[in-house]
Structures are given as structure tokens and as C-alpha cells.
Amino acid sequence: MSASLCEEGTYKIAAPGNKQAIKPNEEERLVDQQQDKAGLWSKQLAFVGYGATIGSAIPAGYCIGVMNSPAEFMRDWCNQTLIERYDWELGEMGINILWSTIVSIFLVGGAIGSLTGAKVANRFGR
């Protein structure tokens, strides 16, 4: 016995000497519709995901770049290293640009790690 979907959502069942159309019930139609939509992102889900990503990255960057207590020591260390190795001293603006770059690279690395961490953990074990 085999069944095939025909127009208007009816099924034809082919049995020896028996060909009758049976309409699927409402549950089957709902399941089919849900399976068709499975895997698609709604606009609301995409908006919430984007908001959560950006909404957490900005405060994290601010905390690291501005409010972090060892930030001044790290900025001084960067400037001191440039003086010792290259005999080149940065002004306040140069230090700000260098520190902004360091914080940005840190956040990009965190984003890459969060996006790939699950795949790496699944592949190599947890």
C-alpha cells in the first residue's frame, strides 16, 4: 500500500482494488506547517539576538576600556615598552588610540570565541 499527496491536501491511498481519497486531519496540517517553518528565524528573534549581542558587547568594552582598574598601569606599560624598544613615546592621543585598539581586539576575540566555542567543544570534547 502506498500513499501520495494530491491537490487540495488529500491523500490517495493505492491498495489493490481500492483507491479512495482521505483528507488529513487538522493536526497533521499544523505539524506540516510547523516543520516547513522550522529553522527559519523570525524578525523578532533576529532583533532580540542582535540586541543581546550588541547590548552586552558595549558595556563589556566600556568596563574593560574605561573602568578597569589596571588600565592605567597597562597603558603606562605599553608606552614604556615603546620607549625602551623603539625610542618612541606616544602622546595622550596616541595612547588612547593604542588602548582602544587593544580593547577592540579583545572584544573581537571574545566574539569569535563565543561563536566557535561550542563547535570546538563538541569536536574535541568538553
DSSP letter assigned to residue 8:
G
Domains in the chain: how many in total? Answer: 2
Q: Examine the domain organization and report whether 30 and 53 are in the same domain.
A: no
Altogether, the residues listed in the chain come to a count of 126
pLDDT tens across 83-111, in order? Answer: 999 999 899 999 999 988 988 888 788 88
In a shared domain, residues 80 and 95: yes
Parallel, antiparallel, or unpaired: how do β-strands 2-5 and 18-22 relate?
unpaired
Paired with 15 in beta bridges are 18
Same domain, 17 and 59: no
Which pTM does this prediction carry? 0.45
Do residues 70 and 17 both lie within one domain? no
Q: Do 64 and 8 share a structural domain?
A: no
Q: Are residues 63 and 91 in the same domain?
A: yes
Does 65 share its domain with 25? no
Residue 89 structural domain = 43-124
What is d(CA 103, CA 101) in angstroms, rounded to the nearest whole number?
Answer: 5
**DSSP state at residue 5:** E
For all residues of the chain together, what is the average pLDDT? 77
